[in-house]
Amino acid sequence: MTETTVKWIVWIVGFAMIGGGVVGVLWALFSDRARGKSRCPKCWYDMAGVPGAGLQCPECGRLHASRAALGRTRRRWRWAAVAAMLSLLGYAGMLTRKAAVNGWAGAIPSSVLVMLWPVSEGEWLDQEFTAQPSTDSAFLELCDRIHDGKLADWQLHWWVGRIERFARAHRAYGFDAERVTLNKLATSRMKLEGDGSDAPSFFEALSLGSGVTFTHQDPLTIFDPPLLFPPHECSAEDLLHLLPERFQRNRGGWTGTWELDSGGVVTLSDEQRDDKLWRVAIFDCREVVRMLQKRWKSASPRAEALRTVDLMRELETLCEVTATENARDSCVVQTVGSFLIAQAPPRKLIEFERLLEAIRACPSAGNSTPQAGWQRSREMLARMETKQVEVPADAADVDDLLAAITAAGEPAPLHSDRWESAPLDRDTLDRLKGRVVPITTLLDAIVEAGKSAGAEVWWTISPLGIELSQDPGVGASTLRVYDLSDLLAKSRIEGPPLSIDDPLADLSQLLLRSVHPDKSVWNEGKGTDICFVGTTMIVWEPVQLQVRIERFLAELRGDVSEAE
């Protein structure tokens, strides 16, 4: 007899005993009601024909105080006890089976486990940081039931409440103050000039312009190479987002990052994890889950329903790989039902919040980009694509192309990397010299010249302007959310009606090949190029790639509509 057969036999017999016991208890306690008859509540003799007041039973001789006492329901307590024992035996048999398979903790009811059992909330939060796994059987059983989706919604909600109460009492919880600080950095406007190598003066200017205090683990004195300030106003957040990558390759320079701290303070530190800055936050994703499940069903009515536990795992993975590019790599995201419990620095928690809000708002074009500055960068890219620049007839290297861009009235591209002025190859010179071309054409030529010189150069558009870097998308990547449910519904292909995973994978590969076939320009270092949560696509790429993706999807939708 197989294990599955034994399991089903135990469950069927157990439920039969429990059901029979419940029926027996109901029969013993409620089936024999008076229904208007007068009966002796001691011997249950029918007293309908008793002469006189009819209060004394002629069978047992008991005298009753009133006729109301003669209308009681007969309770068979012994039979009720036997029936209750039968139910308990059935339930005990099922628990014994669970205990035999999963250990004694498997016999603990889920309600008792989440409400009353002394499972350590702190141990649950710290399980990702602990080298030695827990040996507490009840703790492990609870983790397994949460992971396998075996708890009811109200039980999951109760456990999340326990975690929240513990975190508020014993951990740094929430990020309201840090959100205010980041808003100050994002809304500040400043135009910096002067020596870009003087680090103290730079941070003092940021502090004066934003009203935010800056602290340093290791005081900075010099930026080498100097920071090139854009010729227009920008926010303190824009400048801070670019610092870690812009000075990543300094010769002995700073390789740190920045993080929000409580009390309106921005902490500048090295890249090592600082536990003091970590906070706990709980995100309610029930509305997002319902919306994604609805879109999934609309895209393919015959597809298998998208389970909440699977969808939350996708959201968990998404939050881990699409957080702010300059935040620390370490973070812990755990799912409990439709809740995300995240432990991370404040900047990442704010990024998670923005990401979930963007998914919730999609497909509204105005709300599908969590980062500020997207529209400004997009307008700048449009200007670079349409503005014509005359290339000098004597142009010979990258410096000449940069000078042509500046001569056309555009700010000089910013670049923190140092490479020798790369010469232009003959084909590029013949194609450009003496001609009028868009600025983006010159930038593409600079990229090709850099690659020919052995430098993996790429250009991006950021709120600071045009960025030239040896890393694709460094400092200028933007998170965009795209809803593909309508596209998948219109382009549904006949085949097995059980899943739409394959069309999503095919669309992802088609998009990668069509938008830009050069894999080096995609953010492979982020852990993924394109993420899917249900039928929602999340892309973390530079502005120029995002615009190409928008155009590609618009053309694809147009082709599908024409085909219909």
Residues 3-51 pLDDT 10s: 677 777 877 888 899 899 999 999 988 888 888 788 888 888 888 777 7
What is the spatial distance between Cα 122 and Cα 127, in angstroms, rounded to a whole number? 9
Which strands form 536-542's sheet, in the order they lie side by side?
477-483, 536-542, 530-533
**Domain membership flag for residue 20:** no
**Is there a single domain that holds both residue 361 and residue 484?**
yes
Would you call the peptide bond into 219 cis, given omega within 30 degrees of 0 as the criterion?
Answer: no
| Two tokens, residue 23 | 């029926």
Question: For 304-328, what is the mean pLDDT?
Answer: 70
131-153 pLDDT, tens digit per residue, is 567 788 888 889 888 888 889 99
What is the spatial distance between Cα 436 and Cα 391, in angstroms, rounded to a whole number? 6
b/e per residue 503-538 (b: at least 16 CB within 10 A): bbeebbeebeeebbeeeebbbeebebbbbbbbbbbb
Nearest to 269 by CA among 240, 296, 297, 292: 240
**Is there a single domain that holds both residue 299 and residue 411?**
no
Q: What amino acid occupies position 398?
A: V
60-115 pLDDT, tens digit per residue, is 888 887 877 888 888 889 999 999 999 988 888 877 777 776 777 888 888 999 99
pLDDT band at 168 (very low <50, low <70, confident <90, very high): very high
How many CB atoms are located within 10 Å of the residue 3 CB? 8
**Domain membership flag for residue 380:** yes
DSSP 234: B
What is the spatial distance between Cα 6 and Cα 158, in angstroms, rounded to a whole number? 33
**Is there a single domain that holds both residue 304 and residue 387?**
no
Q: Mark which of 269, 296, 319 sits at the end of a domain.
A: 269
**Is there a single domain that holds both residue 421 and residue 545?**
no
pLDDT band at 155 (very low <50, low <70, confident <90, very high): very high
| Two tokens, residue 372 | 């500020």
**Is there a single domain that holds both residue 353 and residue 407?**
no
Q: How far apart, in Å, are the Cα atoms of 354 and each of 5, 347, 368, 505? A: 49, 11, 10, 26
**Domain membership flag for residue 145:** no
**Is there a single domain that holds both residue 367 and residue 480?**
yes
Q: What amino acid occupies position 477?
A: S
**Is there a single domain that holds both residue 488 and residue 412?**
no
**Domain membership flag for residue 65:** no
Is the pLDDT reported for residue 369 higher than 80? Answer: no
CA 511 to chain centre: 23
**Is there a single domain that holds both residue 287 and residue 330?**
yes
Between 243 and 251, where is the model more confident?
A: 243
**Domain membership flag for residue 26:** no
What is the spatial distance between Cα 232 and Cα 383, in angstroms, rounded to a whole number? 16
**Is there a single domain that holds both residue 416 and residue 542?**
no
Residue 383 CB contacts under 8 Å (≥ 6 apart), including other chains = 439
**Is there a single domain that holds both residue 380 and residue 237?**
no
**Is there a single domain that holds both residue 403 and residue 419?**
yes
CA 421 to chain centre: 43
**Domain membership flag for residue 191:** yes
Is the pLDDT reported for residue 249 higher than 50? Answer: no
**Domain membership flag for residue 318:** yes
**Domain membership flag for residue 216:** yes
Number of domain units in the chain: 3
Locate tokens 């503005």: which residue? 387
Q: Mark which of 420, 439, 462 sits at the end of a domain.
A: 462
CA 267 to chain centre: 25
Q: Is the dihedral of CA 511, 512, 513, 518 positive or negative?
A: positive
The pTM is what? 0.77
| Two tokens, residue 434 | 């003496």
Is the pLDDT reported for residue 325 higher than 50? Answer: no
Is the pLDDT reported for residue 496 higher than 50? Answer: no
**Is there a single domain that holds both residue 364 and residue 489?**
yes
> Range of 346's domain?
278-372+475-563
Q: Mark which of 269, 291, 308 sits at the end of a domain.
A: 269
- CATH code for the domain in which residue 212 is found: 3.55.50.30
pLDDT band at 526 (very low <50, low <70, confident <90, very high): very low
What is the spatial distance between Cα 542 and Cα 459, in angstroms, rounded to a whole number? 9
